[in-house]
Structure 1
Amino acid sequence: MEKLTPVKARLLMSLIEIDEHCRSISYMAAQHNVAKSTISRAADWCEEQGLLRKDREKRMYLTEHGRQIATRLARGKKIADEWCRLYAVSAQNAEEDAEALYLGCSEELLEKLSAQTLLYSASRQMHKTPFPSSYQLCRALPDGEYQLDFVFYKYGEQPGFHVSMANEGFVHPLRLKVHGSDGTVVLSALSIQCRSRETGSYMAGEARSLRYVKEELSYDAVRTGNEFFIPFEIFHIISISDCSCHAVAELCIRSTVAEMHMPESRVSLLLIL
């Protein structure tokens, strides 16, 4: 199928819920401030593609397939509108940027934009809370999966200084799974190459176990394959602003390099929402 143009997309979305007298080409042309010939050509194309049908009076109706496409477009437009409202460089161009975005990007990207917008809104909501917590943040987020940037720092150091080598051992970004008021942080371990100081040869290394600290006690993180699962409730929100939120937790990581078990590393994991 030929790519949908903005006029065709607007026409389809306009037909989702509309009164009988609003289904004519003349009405749609006036509604969208374009020539009747422009709407007529768009309608003919949509009809050829099986997206709409016309009755004897030339009134337009969505087919089942057309309704599915129009509904998906409307959802994409809503996501793009909200994202551009929050992040667009120019408020004047936000509408045009949103249109180009939802017509040109994949469903996967739209889902990521939606999640990013929800995280932004939740962070702003936490900014108004006297004593924000990870529990409250989860309650502010709809159920789903979110991608978060993160940084490992050496334990005991102020975030922003002394970055830990543990950053190289995990997939960036990590995932936050939210269900109800519960959240789970998912860290995916990577196999990394380490060079031996003695022989100069490279050896494979990876994180083998991970413990987290909760109320001065340590617990083993559940591991499935290369993924470690950490309860989000152990994270403490340390800073919050209108547009971002930082949360930190203490972890202990044990790694192996080739056949050697390395000493346990104590790190601070900083999440950036």
Structure 2
Amino acid sequence: MHNNIEILKMRILTCFIKMSKSNCNVTGLAKSLSEEKYAVSRAMKSLENCGLLDRSDNRCPVLTERGQKLAHEYADKIDVVANHLLGEGVNPVAAKQDAFLLSMYCTNDTLSVIKEIEDKMRIKQVTDSYSNFTGKKLCHKLGDATLELQFVMYKNSVKNNTNISMANEGFYHPCILTVEKGEGLISLKAKNMSRKSRLTGKKMNGKVSVFKYFDGTSFVEAERQGDIVTFPIEAMNFISMGESRDRILHGSLPIRLGCSVGCMHMPESPAIFTLIV
């Protein structure tokens, strides 16, 4: 591993939240990190000068509040990058070493992209033994999470050489899946769209004002707060296609949609909400 003091400082910070307090001293850290004591001591002094480490008791130094926050941020980034590298076939030793470097020097935008990829891979991993499953099963396997997922709204039939519902343009993409304590909610944000009235032929502006989903028995109104529409992912059914990391998960849910311009101009119509992972 590169003998860079900044990387060593990052490694030391993460040790403080992963190792026992009794080992978080110069001797214990040097042994755990396979570094010279003088290098560890110098790095710890730098952390102290930055206000990240309290060394008032040299035998038992502790992270400051800022140090704790930064250590957890580093640890989360390192885990995301390491898991991504492992998934791409990098050997565990190299993945662990390179994760420190990438976490240190990658921009937050790059790390966000990696995290999004890994979040989607985690969905595939927890459902790899199922060819079809419900949204409820997905939430149970996934655990607490907040994910951005792409979606498409299809018409029930092809018209004008397309089966994409005009409501697909009535929401911002992607949608948000929030899973907490085994329950998941899909959140969509409505936006303005323009279409010609079926009654007058004139262009009209409006938003999706009616959103009903099929709960297995009947169509029920989705919850709404302003422009945000939410419904339980438990109502969806998924199928799995392909193998390993190339698998595609396809979730679907019958819905009914209406527009704020009124049913005379844009009647309430059926559609299929689909998630693609």
Give the Å deviation of 1:7.
Answer: 1.8
1:2-36 Cα shifts (integer Å, max 9, x gaps): xx9322101222344257577327x7556545566
Is the contact between residue 8 and residue 40 of structure 2 (CA under 8 Å) also seen in structure 1? yes
Query: Match for 1:24: what amino acid?
Result: V
CA contact (8 A) 1:204 1:258 kept: no
Structure 1, gaps ≥5 residues long: none
Partner of 1:52: 53
Give the aligned partner of residue 171 of structure 2: 170
C-alpha distance in structure 2 between counterparts of 1:63 and 1:180, whole Å = 31
Partners of 1:196 and 1:167 in 2: CA distance? 17
Alignment of 1:147-226 (within 5 A): 147-156=148-157, 162-194=163-195, 203-215=204-216, 217-226=218-227
- Equivalent residue, structure 2, for 1:84: 85
Structure 1 counterpart of 2:269? 265
Compared CA separation, residues 55 and 221, structure 1 to 2 (3 A):
closer
Q: Aligned partners of 2:42, 2:260: CA distance in 1, in Å?
A: 65
CA gap 1:20/1:143 in 2 versus in 1, 3 angstroms: closer
Matching residue within 235, 258, 266 for 1:254: 258
Which digits, 9 at most, give the CA deviation of each residue in 1:218-250, with x for residues without a partner? 222222211222222321113345344211011
Q: Secondary structure at the match of 1:162?
A: strand
Task: Note the alpha carbon deviations across 1:191-213, whole angstroms, 9 max, x for none.
Answer: 1345799x999753211111223
Contact 1:188 1:227 survives alignment (8 Å): yes
Deviates more, 1:76-85 or 1:41-50: 76-85
Q: Deviations over 1:107-140 (max 9, x none)?
A: x987886676455334323231365222211111
TM-score (norm 1): 0.74
Counterpart Cα distance in 1 of 2:16 and 2:250 = 44
Q: How many residues align?
A: 262
Q: CA deviation at 1:48?
A: 0.7
Report the CA distance between 1:74 and its aligned residue. 2.5
Worse-superposed segment, 203-212 or 64-73: 64-73
SS in 2 for 1:132: strand
Which deviates further from its counterpart, 75-84 or 133-142?
A: 75-84
- Range with greater deviation from structure 2 (76-85 or 245-254): 76-85
Q: Higher mean Cα deviation, 226-235 or 119-128?
A: 119-128
Amino acid at match of 2:62: L
- The amino acid across from 2:64 in the alignment is E
| Cα distance, 1:53 vs structure 2 | 4.4
Match of 1:134 in 2: 135
Please report the RMSD computed on the Cα atoms of aligned residues, expressed in angstroms: 3.9
Change (3 A) 1:206 1:97: farther
Alignment counterpart, residue 23 of structure 1, candidates 25, 36, 40: 25
Change (3 A) 1:105 1:218: same
CA distance in 2, matches of 1:260, 1:229: 26
1:62 is matched with 62
Q: Deviations over 1:53-93 (max 9, x none)?
A: 4479x76723333344324422332233223323x475586
Give the Cα separation in 2 of the matches to 1:214 and 1:67: 44
Is the Cα–Cα contact under 8 Å of residues 153 and 163 in structure 1 kept in the other structure?
yes
SS at 2:8 equivalent:
helix
SS in 1 for 2:127: helix
User: Conserved in 2, the CA contact under 8 Å of 1:123 and 1:240?
Assistant: no
User: Aligned pair 1:42/2:30, yes or no?
Assistant: no
Shift of 1:190: 0.9
